Amino acid sequence: MKPTPPLPAIDSIIGSSATEEAYFSESQLPSCKSGFYTAAEERTTRRRTCRFLEEAGRVLKLPRVTISTSMVFFHRFYAVHSFEDHDRFEVSVACILLAAKTEESPKKLHVVIQECFKLKNLSTKAKKQQQQHEEIPGVILDKRGYLDAKCEEFVRLKDRILLLERVILHTIGFELSVNHPYIYFGKIKTMIASRQLQYIQPLSSSSEEPGKMFNQLTQYSMNFANDSMHTSLCLQFPPDKIAYACIYLSGQFCKLKPTDDKKWLDILDISMDELVSIGLQIMELIADKKGVDKSIFDSVRSDLDGMKRKVQGAPVIGDNSNKAAMRPPSLDDRESKKQRI
């Protein structure tokens, strides 16, 4: 078992206030700084682990908020620690356990360990090695694929996860109250009630328009907020800014526009830079999903570019030479250009 590294202050990585914009440089994340991962590998690792947390939460029948909280704990933990120092599977299990307690949907430790271990072994790589698991010292699986509660590996995992639960608490400064973007979607109802939005092509029945608009906008916003949890956006921006960017993206997918020739920035409390950065990071994440109409991305980029040029006279967002806009801005441009190991 690796010794637990000293705990640096999370404020030094993501900012000192949850309400303050907390841009960070990916090159300064511990895994990148040590050369263990490149920035792209770091992002991929976070996304893969969040997909595991998503599926584990579904298997454990945890509420959506609990799953999202576990992802926030995970992102905050690895904003301070390197992926090299702690096994991400063990950290993920500890994050689920802690989030379930925090959001008042607790699960027994042995249930969490067994379900997560079984889920881990259902991966393609694990299937190929299925016959080898029983030969690994300390690992005993029953007929259903669950880890035997009396075997050495279960005991080791139990002790390790209980230790990591305490390490996570220290790392996040015992800040267990997590605000998610979901609580800010009440603004959708206000916007519709005050007639701030309209369909680009009006519906045949105007009486059905408000109800359909509310349902579509809310559902898309929830989906985008869930997707945002797979990125490090929760480290970069406060939840209300993420929520407003999700509403904007939803409006684009629902083919809505502000009324009275207003711009989205006029009705959403978010700056142009925030909207561009959050929007592009979410689009980059969902671009590879099956069934996604990629043509809408061009429409969103075009709209963002139009707004940004009017506000700042900025270069075209969709330009390949401006791909850096899709990443969190660096605190030190020179540092971000250094070749990483």
In the predicted model, what is the mean pLDDT of the chain?
Answer: 82
Mean of the pLDDT values across residues 36-43? 89
Q: What is the pLDDT of residue 26?
A: 73
Least confident of 36-50, 52-66, 272-286, 293-307: 293-307
Angle at 96 between CA 92 and CA 102, to 5 degrees: 140
Q: Is the pLDDT of residue 238 over 90?
A: yes
**How far apart, in Å, are the Cα atoms of 9 and each of 171, 203, 341?**
7, 53, 25
Q: What is the pLDDT of residue 25?
A: 66
Mean of the pLDDT values across residues 236-258? 94
Question: 42 and 29 in contact (C-beta within 8 Å)?
Answer: yes
H or E stretch covering 179: none
Per DSSP, 106 falls in state -
Q: What is the pLDDT of residue 140?
A: 81
Higher-confidence position of 73 and 202: 73
Amino acid at residue number 123: S
Structure confidence at residue 335 as a pLDDT band (50, 70, 90): very low
Largest CA distance in the chain: 70
Least confident of 179-188, 211-220, 247-256, 292-301: 292-301
Q: Give the Cα separation of 230 and 256 in Å (integer).
A: 26
Rounded percentage of the chain residues whose pLDDT exceeds 70: 77
Higher-confidence position of 299 and 235: 235
Question: 2 and 85 in contact (C-beta within 8 Å)?
Answer: yes
State the first-to-last Cα distance of the chain, in angstroms, to the nearest integer: 26
